[in-house]
A and B are shown apart, each in its own frame.
Chain A
Amino acid sequence: MNYFPDEVLEHIFDFVGSHKDRNSVSQVCKLWYRIESYSRQKVFVGNCYAIGPERVAERFSGLKSITLKGKPHFADFNLVPPDWGGFVYPWIEAFARSRVGLEELRLKRMVVSDESLELLSRSFPNFKSLVLVSCEGFTTDGLAAVAAYCRQLKELDLQENDVEDHRGHWLSCFPESSTSLVSLNFACLKGDINLPALERLVARSPNLKSLRLSRAVPLDVLQRILIRAPQLLDLGVGSYLHDPDSENYNKLVTAIQKCKSVRSLSGFLDVAPHCLSAFHIICPNLTSLNLSYAPGIYDNELIKLLRHCHKLQRLWILDCIGDKGLEVVASTCKDLEELRVFPSDPYVGQAAVTEEGLVAISRGCQKLNSILYFCQQMTNAALITVAKNCPNFVRFRLCILDPTKPDAVTQQPLDEGFGAIVQACKDLKRLSLSGLLTDQVFLYIGMYAEQLEMLSIAFAGDSDKGMQYVLKGCKKLRKLEIRDSPFGNAALLMDVAKYETMRSLWMSSCEVTLGGCKALAKRMPGLNVEIINENDQMEFVGGCDDDRQKVEKMYLYRTLAGQRRDAPEFVWTL
């Protein structure tokens, strides 16, 4: 290969898509490293503090797209105080300075200020795609800047962000001429929307394929939009309140009938419980359905809808569907690959789901490989059955709402059930545990979960052994997050070198002490060991007594960038 000109190697590397593979390619020799580095266009940085933006820009001179993740996963559940960090501004600023030809920015759990959005929109003339997931810190003013100055914008995708709404004028900021918009998702916005501006925008966006509306968009506007954009592939309905006898509704039915291309349906953020039948006509084409934000749909309506969805591959739904509803899914959606069942509000008459629903799904949906399941109860027998029926799980996340609940029938811990899952699912990459669990389950995980990359543990285990089994056995582990489990220093310090093979470790409300963390930080200078000390729970009062204090929240990660300079007061890097 060394006798090929660089261009040939570069061309060959073009076919190497995944980040993992490209990382491997770059390790082969200096030449390959060099060529791979300047030809790589998409860069993925799983922890924005693992490396500095200047270094990234320097290495990957052809960088066009970057994905950054900020806060630890448990920040989603309010375990990380605000102001912890994860600011995107330094990255945008560094890239602007280095004249990176940035075209795509994908962020998850980061703090995005309006200034950073403005800087972004002005610094990169070819900027095309902005995807923000679970971010915060910006307002609709920032969106206005993006709309106004990113003339080539194709994708503006806002998923579950916390956005401060300063009225809907941002929609009017898109250029007056035809736009290049392909994908627009503003479902997470809470405030009013300038509806005429929205309609005009859709009218002048001939390439629009994906549109997800917020709650502020009522049915009549939806209907007009659908008339203008029957080519949509992905539709997120905003508000779905209507009178079934009204003319608006009839018009909607007509409009929907024209949308033959819709493959993905979501939204229904405000919904009157009846008459989803307008959508039955497009259900047979759907491959993705997300009704997890629609608590107003009752189970029988859901079931009626689902009976039409034969081609569904991905389903996100609330547990008001009930076990019976899941049986319907199992018999209808034979192509189902991903299922997420979220807990819903306590409506009178709503049923929750139990292990029976999960078993039914496993029997009916042989292609299932990813599941997130919030349920009332679980049994070992059910999990063993599921493991037998579906050995293809790549992601298996089970959340029993009562976190230490044992097997609902035998009152035993759920060790055997999860053990069966890890043993059967050879490709399992992500696992979340819940229910009553002892060290035994970790023994199984260490033994069988060879491909496991991410493990989430809560209220589980009896002793340090549990964590030790996992650290010893799971060779490919990248992210480990643990809360409220009795793992202490012995486990933490068992194999400190392992943490440099992992992206990060989170431990909160466990038994690790300050002394243990200090020892770890000392031995591993390539890690940032951060203690989150909210409410002054801990004090450095001097003396070695400190070290016996239990650490409430510890987050450690490997890094090439050293200690971060933007840590707030309550975060100590040891």
Chain B
Amino acid sequence: MTPPLLGGVEEVASSASLLASSTSVESVCENGSAELKERNYMGLSDSSSSGDSSAISAVTGESKTSLNLKATELRLGLPGSQSPERNSDLCLFASTQLDEKPLFPLHPVNDNHGSSMPKNLLLGNKRGFSDAMDGFSEDKFTSDSEVNAMLSPRSSQNLGLKPGSILENLSSQPAKAKEVVGQKPAQERPLVSNDPRANNRSSANNSSAPATKAQVVGWPPIRSFRKNSLATLSKNTEEVDGKAGASALYVKISMDGAPYLRKVDLRNYSAYKELSLALEKMFSCFTIGQCGSHGTSGREMLTESKLKDLLHGSEYVLTYEDKDGDWMLVGDVPWEMFIETCKRMRIMKGSDAIGLAPRAVEKSRNKD
């Protein structure tokens, strides 16, 4: 019996890799309630079958890092929607396809901006978010948040799997899913390399993480003294930031379309580039990358043309609310001034931010 998913797949020109990936998807489908297996940083599950497409159990006691990553995986469905977890499976399967080219040509990012794709099966989808997903071209194909969300997470390997309604959604989206799966390989590579590291570090160093990830005893070969020290030190550094002479500067960061906000300590960074990198990792889709980094050293001012580049180059921009209550574009002022005046940050849609540009550039011109 072939699930509807495969049926949909066959409509497209078939290829070995596609079938392979769909087979693996099929096996997941057949799993029904996906068996939760612990996955350690090596990608081995408890049963030590490295080829096993197992998922990570979402245990509440998971390390802070993985919880955060879970939170960053923006679920566009209603809170409580189970769509995101499915991603892990798809990602895992697709990770075996690393070397294979995507079957389907990637559409240009803005292809479906303001798409006419039917918004069916959508629970409170915020289109904006799916558009913004960096490099994830599946948003072109579907406005279905469930499928999008499935494909998004870079940190999915950390996330718990819940058996769920994904399967139903999957099966009803055959046309979408095939493309989704096909494109996965292009995205998976960076993800896979990032995640084991995150997993590894947290599992190696965070002694508070209960044994949800099956750790290999004595690996990596670091002296336990060092391991314990680093674990303590990293915890303390987080506390310490609040106690240090320069007290921590936690500001909220919201992102349009995301149900969760984040908080960062601005004192952890010393330049816009660092902040943007961190936010990029946090939100997995944000491309402030160029913000501030084009500026001349020490000044980090955005010119009007660069600002336009920025806005056209990505769907989202980073803005902040300053002491006066004004919403400003991040990157205009020197970093030190920025952290003094920033009250909170918001990642807003490019379209909303256009209005800021002249004012921001004006303000920066005034400072010259």
Binding site for B on A (CB under 8 A): 74, 76-79, 134, 160-162, 188, 241-246, 269-274, 292-296, 298, 300-301, 342-349, 352, 374, 376-377, 399, 401-404, 411, 432, 456, 458, 483
Contacts and interface: CB of A to CB of B under 8 A. Distances in A.
B224 to A, nearest CB: 6
B243 A241 contact: yes
Given A293-B233, A349-B281, A401-B197, 14 more contacts: A77-B221, A77-B222, A78-B217, A160-B223, A162-B225, A245-B245, A269-B229, A293-B226, A293-B229, A346-B198, A346-B202, A401-B220, A402-B41, A432-B221
Contacts of B231: 345
A304 B363 CA distance: 32
Contacts of A456: 221
A456 B245 CA distance: 45
Interface in B42-71: 42-43, 50, 65
Nearest to B245: A243
A274 B270 contact: yes
Given A296-B237, A401-B197, A243 B244 contact: yes
A349 B230 contact: no
Interface string B196-223: 1110111011100000000011111111
A543 B205 CA distance: 44
Which 10 A/B pairs are nearest by Cβ-Cβ distance? A243-B245, A77-B218, A346-B201, A345-B234, A349-B278, A160-B225, A296-B237, A272-B244, A348-B278, A76-B223
A271 B50 CA distance: 39
Contact of A348 (B43, B204, B282): B282
Given A161-B225, A343-B220, A483-B218, A295 B230 contact: yes
A104 to B, nearest CB: 23
B283 to A, nearest CB: 11
A241 B274 contact: no
B240 interface: yes
B271 interface: yes
Contacts of B206: 345
B337 to A, nearest CB: 16
B277 interface: yes
Nearest to A241: B244
B193 interface: yes
Contacts of B233: 269-270, 293-296, 345
B246 interface: yes
B274 A343 contact: no
Q: Is the interface of B mostly helix, strand, loop or mixed?
A: helix
Contacts of A374: 220, 222
Contacts of B226: 160, 292-293, 342
Contacts of A74: 218
Contacts of A349: 269, 274, 277-278, 281
A345 B205 contact: yes
A404 B193 CA distance: 14
B217 to A, nearest CB: 6
Candidate in A246, A273, A432 with the most chain B CB atoms within 10 angstroms: A273
Given A300-B271, A483-B218, A134 B225 contact: yes
B101 to A, nearest CB: 16
Contacts of B246: 243-244, 272, 274
A271 B270 contact: no
22 contacts: A76-B221, A77-B219, A77-B221, A77-B222, A78-B224, A242-B244, A243-B244, A270-B237, A272-B244, A272-B245, A273-B267, A274-B270, A295-B234, A300-B274, A301-B270, A345-B234, A346-B201, A347-B234, A349-B269, A376-B197, A401-B41, A402-B41
B270 A293 contact: no
Contacts of A401: 41, 196-197, 200, 220
Candidate in A76, A162, A294, A346 with the most chain B CB atoms within 10 angstroms: A346
A77 B223 contact: yes
Contacts of A162: 225
Nearest to B271: A300
Contacts of A345: 201-202, 205-206, 230-231, 233-234
Contacts of A301: 270
Contacts of B50: 404
Interface string B147-168: 0000000000000000000000
B268 interface: yes
Contacts of B241: 272
A402 B225 contact: no
B245 A344 contact: no
A139 B119 CA distance: 68
A458 B43 CA distance: 17
Contacts of A432: 221
Contacts of B172: none
A403 B220 CA distance: 8
B236 interface: yes
A403 B217 CA distance: 12
Contact of A344 (B193, B201, B267): B201
Contacts of A404: 42, 50
B240 A270 contact: yes
Contacts of A246: 245
B333 to A, nearest CB: 19
Nearest to A274: B270
A79 B193 contact: no
Interface string B281-312: 11000000000000000000000000000000
Contacts of A298: 268-270, 274
A270 B223 CA distance: 19
A162 B278 CA distance: 35
B216 to A, nearest CB: 7
A311 B39 CA distance: 44
A127 to B, nearest CB: 26
Contacts of B277: 349
B223 A134 contact: yes
Contacts of B269: 298, 349
Contact of B222 (A271, A294, A342, A403): A342
A399 B270 CA distance: 31
Contacts of A376: 193, 196-197
Nearest to B237: A296
B97 to A, nearest CB: 13
A278 B307 CA distance: 36
Nearest to A272: B244
Contacts of B217: 77-79
Contacts of B202: 345-346
A241 B282 contact: no
A344 B205 CA distance: 8
